[in-house]
Structures are given as structure tokens and as C-alpha cells.
Structure 1
Amino acid sequence: MLVGLWVLLIITVMGGLIAFLGDKIGTKVGKRRMSLFGLRPKYTSIIVTIVTGIVISASTLGILSIASNNVRTALFGMEQLKAEMAQLSADIETKTKALDQSNNELQEKNKQLRQVQNDVVATESELEETRSALSNMGDRLVSIQDAYAEAEHKLSASNAAVGHLETVKDQLESHVEELQLTTKQLEYGINHVREGNVVFRNGEVLAQAVIRPGLGEVESMAALTSFLKDTNRLILNRFQMNEEKTVIYISRDNLDAIAKQIAASNTPLMIRVTAAANIIYGEPALAEVHAYQHTLVLQKGTVLWSSTVQGGQGAQDDVLAFLKAVNTQAKERGILPDPITGEVGSLPGNELFDTIRKVELQKGPVKLEAITREDTFTSGPVQIQLRVIPADS
């Protein structure tokens, strides 16, 4: 406020002073009828007046600039002032955003604080309920202790009764073991009498062969009859009989159904003859004929099954379990198992023992792979080789 009054006072004084001087100069110039640059006195007076006005303005601005820092800023520092104002505005906006964010965080913290306060209230309520329940449990504890003492008394009596019952149980188990031993001896005697002359067991494969497709019913029956003659000769050799006679008997309906299946098939069929009952030496051989699709199931070099086992002790059980898994996998792939054993192939004993020894020598996990030695068809058998691969290799 005070600076403004000073500026106003200076402008007033300077304006009056310069106006006075201009008037004096103009009067003198007019009286003397002076001429500048060859102009008439009238125009010279006008020029003097204009110059006087310019001098008044310039002198006023100069004195104001010297007397006031604000005037200097307004005249010469306006761009810098604008830049500073823009920077200040940006700073204010940034601070405002930060303030808004802080306010949001404060609201979130307040919300969390209210949640914690509610949880504290709920916890205090639960604590009060727990204290009340504990008080009730203390009252019930006395009655429970009395019941426990009574239960111990009854338990002692029950233990005595159990001891007597265990003695009786041991006697009965001993009697049962004697009966079981007697039963096994009787079964062994019966089986020895009955199965001593069994040549083929019920369900055992007597023979099998592959018949090509494209045959009519008559040709199919002829091929089937020729195959059964070979099977009959095989049974005669098993019976150690040299005479030519028919010992294998198959129902006509079974033969007709298989002959029609062969004639209708567009792919090779594997024909299998199995015993329909236990075949006793010298008795007729009742048999059945079955037909299966003869297709390539596993190519040579196929990894049929792989699994990870633990090396070291116990390798034998792991390897045997692995072979059971291989057998199951082969049957799931479509290989026909042996009706008696349920197995689809065999593994030489020396290779099995060698695999077990390799696994036992390993420390830590070992990967086992079962790989087919040759192409395997539906009829099998599956010939495999076992590969032992250390897990870290």
C-alpha cells in the first residue's frame, strides 16, 4: 500500500515538473520563432511538444523503475514471473493430488481401524462367553471326575472279563487252525487224486492260428476244420497216442458262428481253441473256438510302460510290481492274456535278476522302462526288455 502511494506521488511530481518545463521550452521556442531542420516555427513548436511528451513518459518510467522493484518486474521480468507462476501452479496441483491420495489412505485406515475396533468388540464378547463356559466347565468337572472314577472301576471289571474271553478266543483259534490244517490236507488229497491226470486245465489255450480274410463260408469252414485237425493231433501227442482218432469235440453251433465271422471279416482273425473243462488223460477233450481281430498293437521299440522306483534295498518288490503294471498296460492296449495265468508275456529269469541287481546298486530314484523287442499283435505274447535309467542322467 505504502509503495503504491510513493509511486503515485512520484508520477504526479514528475508529470507536473516536466509539463512545466515543456511549457517554458515551448513558450521560448514560440517567442523566438525558432526553426529546426528548416521547418516552420509552428511545426518546430509541435515537434518540441512531442519530444517533451516522450521525455515526460521516458523519465517517468525510468524514475519509477529506479524507485520500485515491482515496476521493474512488471516491465522487464513478466515472462519470468509467468514461468514461476506456472511452476507454482504445477506444484500446487501435485500437492493437491498428494493431499487427495493422503485423504483416501486416511479414509482406508479409518475404515480398517473401525473394522479392528469391531473385531476387538467381537473378541471381547467371545472372551466373555468363553469365560462363562469355562466357569460352567469347572462346575461340570467335579461330576465328570466322579463319573471317571466309576468308569475306572467298571473298566477293571471289564478287563478281567476280557482276559477270560481272550483265553477262550485263543483256544478257539487253536481249534480253528487245526480244522484248517485238516481241511487243507483233505483238499490236497482230493486234488492229488483228481488232478494227477489232468492234461489241460479249464480255459487253457490248446492252439491258435491266424486266418486271412476274403474267404467264403465254405472256405472258412474248410480252413477252420484243417486247423482243428492240427489241434486234435497236438492233443494226441500230449496224450502220447499214436493212433489217429478224434479226441477234441466242439459244438456245431460254435463252429458255424466262427465260420460266418471269418467269412464276414475284412481283416485277419486270430482263432484260439481253449479247453471248455479240465481235460483228463484218455477222456474226450471238450473245447471252444474263439475269434479275435489280429492287428498290430505294439511296434518294435515301443516304450510300453515306464515308472520311477527307489533304488537300494526293496528293489525286488518294486521291479515285480513294475512288471505287473506292464502286464496290465499290455492288456489295456488290446493284447489277449493267457486265460489261466492272466499274463501276456514272460521275461527271462536272468534278465529279471540282472534288472533287480542294477536297481539295488543305485542310490535314489531310478526310472524303469519296458521296451518291446519285436512287433506284437493281438495274440501276443509280448516280448520286452527292461531298461534301467538313473534319475539324474
Structure 2
Amino acid sequence: MYGIVLVVILIVMGGAIAYIGDKLGSKVGKRKLSIFGLRPKHTSIIVTIITGILITSSTLAVLAMTSENVRVALFGMEALNKQIRETEFNLNTIQAELDNANQQRQKTVAELEKVTAAYEKANQDIAQSQEQIRALEVTKNTLEEAKTALDAKVATLTEEQSVREADIERLNILTEKLNKGILFVREGQIIFRAGEVITNVVVPYIDNEDKRMHMLSDIVYQANKQILERLAIKEDIEVLWLSQAEFNEATRQLSSLGQKEAVVRIIAAGNIVYGEPVRVQIKLYPNHRIYNQNDFVYSEVVSVEKGDNAEQVVLDFLADVNEKAIAKGILPDPIRRTVGSMTGSQFYDIVNNIENLNGKIEISAYAGDDVNAAGPLRLNVYVKTLN
């Protein structure tokens, strides 16, 4: 809108000035006016020229007053051209700097990529190092645990060594007491055979360690008394020898049986000659019910004739019963491998009964009372003819 208004103003001003100039020229021509002594014709021409100059001047003046661009074009073109040249120079300089900056940027990007790769590799190395550190910490912890276990083992072995040394000293003292005034040789009278049961006791479950140790100590003491009685020694001295380590292990095993009765057997550790300390071992077994009273144990069908050795028939039958009971869980005597007991009269009653029979007979054995693993198995034996 500003340009349109300006053009309209210029048209109007040009027309007005042309009109005025035409009127002045006509007047000058009609009146034959003269300027500077010139002829009227020349004066008219000068008026027309002045009118054109005024039109152009007014046009430029209006444009200059209304438009800064026109003023710049009229009066500041050289400065504008200079500014353009300077701008182009600066632009070229900036472009060069920009290109240089781009090159630097590319170099920086390349270096950044290298740094990033190095950073990632460093992170990987750090992760690997951390993993190695964790592995080393695990190894360290394992070694520390192993060291602790070894320290505990060393302490245990040291304690066991002290116990063994004390046992050796006690054994030496005991041997000296037994040998005092007694001359014996290794081939002397054997008073206990290896594995022979000295005492066989059923004990209840006790959940207190001190009470368990006291109970085992009492059993060992009673076994020592039995040995003194067997040796006809009236003096109350220690003839039974059991290492402290074995005693402690027996106490631990007794607790591991859980809430069950246990069979405690003290047996001879070897053949014991008169005058030697009686070296023993403690054997522990869980005790449980094997047979109830009148439970069937074993039966056998045999053929007999008058004149046969009835006693051998009964002995063979009882041997089979014995193996059956052992297989069932009754603890046998370590020397004789027997589990039962029978009076002589009961045995010979069975023998006499069989001697009078002829043909096939069935011999059956039943539990005479309730029987646990500790035994003994008392039998009721019945003989029945089958023909």
C-alpha cells in the first residue's frame, strides 16, 4: 500500500508541475516575456526546461524523503558498494572459517569417535576388571573359609593330639599298675577275646550332652566293675582302657541317633592277656522292636526216623532260627553269632519229643516275649507231625 500511495503522489505532482509549467510557458509566450534578456522563444524553452527539472527534482525529493532505499541509491551507492564488497569479503572469510571449522569438526568427530571407542573399550576393561575382582573376592572368601576350616582342623588335631598324649600317659600308668608285682608274657592266659561283649546296655534318648556323657561314663564304670569281678580283683582300680577320642566320638554318635533308644555295647578291642589293661571299644546301635510276644519267627519241615540224632536236628533248626533273627535285625553276639537263649531243660524236652517221632514233622519257633534289637530272643518251639 505504501508504494501505491507513493506512485499516486508522484503522478499527481508530475501532472501538477507539468500543468503549471505549461501555463507559465503559455503566459511567457503570449506576453512575450524575456528572462535575462533572452528572446521570448528562448525564455519559453527555459521555462519548459525548468519545469522538467522541477518535476524530476520534486520526484527525487519525494522519493528521497519517503524511502531510505532511494536515499541510499542516490547518495550512498558507493558506500553501499563498498559495504557489499566488505560483506562479500567477510562472507568469504567466514565461509573459509566455516570450511576450516567443518574440517576441524570432522577431525573432532573422528577424534570423538576414537575417544568413544577408547571409552567403550575402557568400560569393557573396567567391567572385565570388576568381574575379575569379584572372582578374586570369591576366591579370597573361599580361601579364607578354607583357612578357617584348616585352622579349626589344626585346632581339633592339636586337641586330639593332646587327648591322645593324655591317653598314652594314662595307659602307661594303668599298665604300670597292672604289671606291678605280676610277670606275664604275650602267650599267657587270654581273659577276653577280640570282639567279646563285656556289657550290653539299652539306654534312652537324652537331649543334653552333659547328661549323655555322664550316662556313658557310668556305663564304662560299670563295665570296669564287671571286669574286676571277672578277674577276682577286690580293689577298686581302673583296668578298662578307652581313649578319650573314642569316648567323645561315641557321645557324638549317640546324639546322631535322634530320639530313639540305643544299644550301647562295650567290647574288647583285641585279645586281652591277664595282666594287661583291658582295651575296649564302644559300639552304638539304634534299638527298636523286632518281635512282639508270640510273633512267628521261623518254621521248618524235616523228615525224621527213630534212631536219628534228634539233638542235631534241633541244633540245625536253632541255627536257622538264629540266622533268620539276625537278618530281621537282632544284634548277634560278636563271638558266637547267637541272638537267643534257651534253658537246657527246654532244649532236651524238644529233643526227647522228636526222638519218639517218625516221618515228616514241622518245627516252629515263636517269640517267647517282646524282643528289641538288643535281644536276647527267647523262643517257644513247637513240634507237629504231618502224617
TM-score, normalising length from structure 1?
Answer: 0.49
- Structure label with greater radius of gyration: 2
* TM-score normalised by L of structure 2: 0.49
